[in-house]
Amino acid sequence: MKSRLLNLKRVQKQVFLVLLDIFFIVFAVYLSFVLRIGKAIPSEIFDSYWIFISLPILTILIFQKLNLYKTLLKYIGTRFILNTFLATTMSCLIHGFFMWFFKETLLPNSIIPIYWCISNILIIAYKFLSKAYLYSWSHFLNDGKPTIIYGAGSAGIQILKTIRKGSTFSPVAFVDDDKSKHGSLIGSLEVYSIKEISKLIKTKKASVLILAIPSINYERRKELLKILTNFPIEVKQIPSIEKLNDDILTTDDIKHVEVNDILNRAVVSPKKELLEKNISGKNILVTGAGGSIGSELCRQIKVLEPKTIVLYENSEYNLYKINQELNKDDNIIIVPLLATVTNYKQLKTTLKKYKIDTIFHAAAYKHVPIVELNPIEGVYNNVIGTYLLAKAAHEESIENMVLISSDKAVRPTNVMGASKRFSEMVLQAFSSIKTNTCFSMVRFGNVIDSAGSVVPLFRQQINSGGPITITHRNITRYFMSIPEAVQLVIQAGSMARGGDVFVLDMGEPIKILDLAIKMIHLSGLKPVDDKNPAGDIKIKFTGLRPGEKLYEELLIGNDVVQSEHPSIMQATEECLDISVIEDCIDKIIIARKNQSELQIKTILLKYVNGYSREVLVN
């Protein structure tokens, strides 16, 4: 019976509720006569038959006007009660006015107020009892999402108090690792084992789980999240212990678990001396300052108290955003420059005028398919921009220049990766000549939530109901959070001696399909697959894009040593003489002038190890 009712179409459910409301309204009128007259079948009923017709019709129309039939039974709460009182009150007042105006004497005056009390009790009671029967008794008086609280300690109890004040979440159970607490009641909620989460999702219709264990260690958190990604339940977490101790927690502080929380990465604490070495008290230039990596570089650099940060960016909007964010401290000079790295005179002027000490070169075209379709501009921006900046840095004797590179530079199958590898060789060539500038480069994989990353794309696709698009079932990628990557970039630059290729330890590569499924589950949804054809989000495989690899690498050769930082390796790789680089630069500039993709790709093919001959086929 329950499953039949739940599987009815929405229109059928609404019609069914209207019929039930009519029944209870008529029954309420009848009880009003019985209580007023004192007989089981009062004769006055037949004299006032019209009220058995008018009251249901008018009340149902007001219910409809107040959208009571648009509210899902599962989510009715205090607002429904108020609207029910309003509807019955309006109906009774209209009938009372009608009786007074037309001098209706056959109907006792007290019938209307008696009816008002009975109808409200009957309608509200049957709706909430129906909600409890069809869904769960646990959220009988709450219209929020049925929620499990993981952690029956002091933090969990505080979360329970907080969410009971609002209507966003409806607590249905505690889950705790402590066996001694299992089966006990805390705040009228029973405590269960983690093994019973699947049962709670089914029996109590739980759709949200809040992690209320702020002091949990990394290993246990990793293990726990790995378990939870197997369930279609939205996982949220509480803020820091400090906020809990301040007793100012609100439901707005309960946040969704971020993707970096499920990457199974142990983050190594940064070394303060390495962070500060090339930044504190110095003048810093960040190219691509408005991008995802560049903007995070600027944020972390500002914390390290430099003298000046020059924001070098060719996107007006991105420059405006990062300048607005950073320009709130008079002690640190923030200089926003709308500029491009392919303008040599502008670069030279900037380095001289602001007496730059350290350059972080993050400006680049990085989107693989876009650069593949626009190889001339992609290579010109990435290679020529890097060369001109390195040349200006060398000529102005800048202390340090750090290039932000990519794992796609290793045996590249696309123009973007080849351009990044050539950019690395540009810095290696400058390091081989007599120079006062320490050139280095840092190579790493994908960063979460960066521009072009799959993570924000998947999040957007899940929010819009799918499908999630993946190029290949077996495609894998390395992942790291933006803040962690930037911390390591800054530290790597501080360890450079000249010409260094630093490679960040990205951990184990992650299968993109597994990442998508975890993100779907942590959103409280189910993927559509062979085992679950009635799931929520479809996964669509679109085929590898031009130049896309199934997997990425971080090293070209095997000549790699561990640096003084456990998450940073140092590689020795082949490089070109500066004369060869300069000859290639001239040819790239001519190729761009002639708009010759073939010339561009021929240069990359000749000098970039691993670049495929297939790129010459148009």
Q: Would you give the end-to-end CA distance of the chain in angstroms?
A: 64
Residue 609, token pair as written in the block: 């190890």
Q: CA–CA separation, 258 vs 482, rounded Å?
A: 12
User: Which residue, 437, 463, 435, is CA-closest to 522?
Assistant: 463
Residue 436, token pair as written in the block: 């006062």
281-333 pLDDT per residue, tens: 999 999 999 998 999 999 999 999 999 999 999 999 999 999 999 987 678 99
171: which strand partners?
Answer: 147
Q: How many residues does the chain have?
A: 618
Mean pLDDT of 446-469: 78
485: which strand partners?
Answer: none
Residue 142 identity: N
User: Which residue, 412, 421, 448, 388, is CA-closest to 267?
Assistant: 448
122-166 pLDDT per residue, tens: 888 888 777 766 665 544 445 578 889 988 888 888 888 777 776
User: Peptide bond preceding 509: is omega within 30 degrees of 0, i.e. cis?
Assistant: no
Provide the 8-state DSSP code for 253: G
Q: Is the pLDDT of residue 372 over 60?
A: yes
Under 8 Å between Cβ of 65 and 95: no
The pLDDT score that the predictor gives to residue 618 is 44
Tell me the catalytic residues: 408
What domains are defined for the chain? 2-135 (no CATH), 141-257 (3.40.50.720), 272-607 (3.40.50.720)
339-371 pLDDT per residue, tens: 999 999 999 999 999 999 999 999 999 888 899
- Is residue 487 classed as helix, strand or coil in its secondary structure? helix
Provide the 8-state DSSP code for 167: S
User: Which residue, 577, 578, 584, is CA-closest to 606?
Assistant: 584
User: Which residue, 271, 285, 270, 332, is CA-closest to 305?
Assistant: 332
Q: CA–CA separation, 430 vs 76, rounded Å?
A: 69
CB 150: neighbour CB atoms within 10 A? 24
The pLDDT score that the predictor gives to residue 617 is 46
User: b or e along 87-115 (b: 16 or more beta carbons within 10 Å of the residue's beta carbon)?
Assistant: bbeebbeebbeebeeeeeeebbeebbebb
Q: What is the percentage of the chain residues whose pLDDT exceeds 90?
A: 29
68-119 pLDDT per residue, tens: 776 666 556 666 778 888 888 888 888 877 777 666 556 677 788 888 888 8
The phi, psi pair for 140, rounded to 5°, reads -55, -40
Instruction: Confirm whether pTM is higher than 0.85.
Output: no
Confidence class of residue 384 from pLDDT cuts 50, 70 and 90? very high
